Amino acid sequence: MPLGKHVATFGARTIVLYQKQNMTNLRYDTWAWVRDEDTGQTSRFLLQAGPSYRRVETDYVLTSATDLVVLSYDRNLGGQMLVTQFRLNGTGVPTSATVVGSTAFGDANSRPKSMIRLSSGAVVFGWHQEGPANADGSVNVGFAYRGAGGAWSTVYPVVLSDPSGGTLTLSEMALAQHPVDGSVWAFSKRD
What's the rounded mean pLDDT across residues 25-38?
Answer: 91
- The residue-averaged pLDDT of 59-83 equals 85
Please, how many CA atoms are within 13 Å of residue 141, restricted to the half-sphere of its CB? 24
pLDDT at res. 168: 59
Give the closest residue to 176 by CA, choosing from 168, 160, 187: 187
Mean pLDDT of 130-134: 73
Count the alpha carbons within 13 Å of 42 in the hemisphere toward its beta carbon. 7
pTM of this prediction?
Answer: 0.88
155-170 pLDDT tens trace: 998 888 776 666 655 6
In angstroms, the first-to-last Cα distance of the chain is: 26
DSSP 165-180: ------EEEEEEE-TT
Buried b (16+ CB within 10 A) or exposed e, 91-118: eebbeebeeeeeeebbeebbbbbbbbbb
Q: How confident is the model at residue 50 (pLDDT cuts 50, 70, 90)?
A: confident
Which amino acid is present at 112? Answer: P
Task: Give the Cα separation of 54 and 175 in Å (integer).
Answer: 26
Residue 139 in this model has a pLDDT that exceeds 50: yes
pLDDT of 184 = 93
* 82-129 confidence digits (pLDDT tens): 899 999 999 889 999 999 999 988 877 788 888 999 999 999 999 988
CA dihedral 129, 138, 164, 128 (to 10 degrees): -20
pLDDT of residue 1: 45
Query: What mean pLDDT is reported for the chain?
Result: 86
Whether the pLDDT of residue 150 is over 90: the answer is no
| Cα of 24 vs its chain's centroid, Å | 28
**43 beta partners:** 34
Mean pLDDT of 60-82: 84
